[in-house]
Amino acid sequence: MRSCLKLAGVAVLALMVAACDEQKEAQQSDASAQQQPQATPVGTLTLEAQTIGLIEEMPGRTVAFRKAAVRPQVDGIIKERNFTEGAFVEAGQQLYMIDQAVYMAELDAAQAELAKQRATLDQTTKTRKRYESLVKTQAVSEQTFDDAISAEAQAKAAVAAARAQVDQARINVEYTTVTAPISGQISSSDVTEGALVTANQTEALTTITQLDPIYVDVTQAGGRLMKIKQAIQNGRIQGVENGKIEVALIIDATGVEYPHTGTLQFSDVSVNETTGTIRLRAVFPNPDGVLLPGMFVRGQVRQGKLDGAFLVPQKAVMRRPDGTAYVYTIGDGKVVSKDVQIEQSQGENWVVTDGVSDGEQLIVDGIQRIAPGAPVTAQPVENANAGQGAAQGSAQ
């Protein structure tokens, strides 16, 4: 009986020890579970390599395609003004009429002088021909014949000089009609009928500006332009045919994109020593006269296409004190830091050319709560936004 009681006590003791061991193991497992960090949910975006058109936005101003100041080329009194201020005029259209009386008289005098010299030439020519036959029979001396030849040559020179005077007088008469040198929009007239004007005066009578097409001058950093040219030459940037680069335009005053695209025409051969920038000139069609000289604009220069690049949201890119850029991606459920190479900005994105690969999960939300090596749970941005919207809807 005593032995049976002893065995029962041993069994109860064994059960109590086993229960204690199980409780201890459970507590240890709970403690280890508490010490292990939990995965942080983060918003992610799947990177996709694509062909991206490079667009560089640059400040600029519009410049008239042509601008001509109209000045008189002869002296005289303005008799007529034959245009409407602010209207469009064609090249060759009459603008002013200067009094022609003096110049018509000079033309008549020059024509009379020309007729006189022609008569003299006719007489000397006849004399030279007569002496030419007489000198053979020694009826006149050779000296006399030589004098006749000389007189004829002088008469020819006099005729040429008189003809030049006629041409000059005729030109002066033509200059009394002041015409438009180019087609374009004409400004106000600075003189009226009855005003005295002089040849080649410094004050312009009026100004004509050609607005269609129109130039747009933009500025770009000189070093940036050099990199773009090198990338085009080595084939990294493609899509630029025969150096033809298209330019879009945004008008600063309204923020609206101009409906017509232009073409980059040339770049300056020197860099501004003060600003370190270089001027680029584009030409735009301006059929409706929307663009006026002196307007502030932003030119979007399309500098070819880049293959295998990524559009990365700017909020996902961080920078170190030395300026190097990096992003967070997910690898094996943990945060991975990767250095990236940025080509340029486009809207709210950076164009990234190196550092990430196709199909990677880029962390775009929750960056402040994580660090490299931390466990995370990926939540695609679209799903995360939909979930937040649903949660807000149910809360309301």
pLDDT classification of 392: cutoffs 50, 70, 90: very low
Q: In the predicted model, what is the mean pLDDT of residues 4-8?
A: 50
* Contact between 53 and 245 (Cβ < 8 Å): no
Read off the pLDDT of residues 55-72 as tens digits, 9 standing for 90 and up: 778 889 999 999 999 999
pLDDT grade for 231, boundaries at 50, 70 and 90:
low
Query: Count of CB atoms within 10 A of residue 125's CB?
Result: 15
Q: What pLDDT score does 276 carry?
A: 77
CA quadruple 154, 156, 161, 165: dihedral positive or negative?
A: positive
The first and second tokens of residue 144, run together, are 């006399």
**pLDDT of amino acid 222:** 66
**148-174 per-position pLDDT tens digit:** 899 999 999 999 999 999 999 999 999
Q: Read off the pLDDT band of 5 (50, 70, 90).
A: very low
Query: What is the token pair recorded at 202?
Result: 């410094």
Question: Residue 125 contacts by C-beta under 8 Å, 6 or more apart in sequence?
Answer: 152, 155
The residues near 83 (Cβ < 8 Å, ≥ 6 apart) are 89, 93, 95, 186, 189
pLDDT tens column, 355-379: 999 999 999 998 988 899 999 998 9
Per-residue confidence (pLDDT) for residue 64, from 0 to 100: 93
pLDDT at position 172, please? 95
> b/e for 352-375, b at 16 or more Cβ within 10 A?
bbebbeeebbbbbbbbeebeeeee
Q: How far is C-alpha 281 from the geometric centre of its chain's CA atoms?
A: 5
pLDDT on residue 395 = 37
- What integer is the mean pLDDT of 125-141? 86
- Chain segment 236-275, per-residue pLDDT in tens: 555 555 557 788 899 988 888 899 988 877 776 677 778 7
Residue that wins the pLDDT comparison between 69 and 300:
69
Return mean pLDDT, the chain. Answer: 83
pLDDT in tens, 71-107: 999 999 999 999 999 999 999 999 999 999 999 999 9
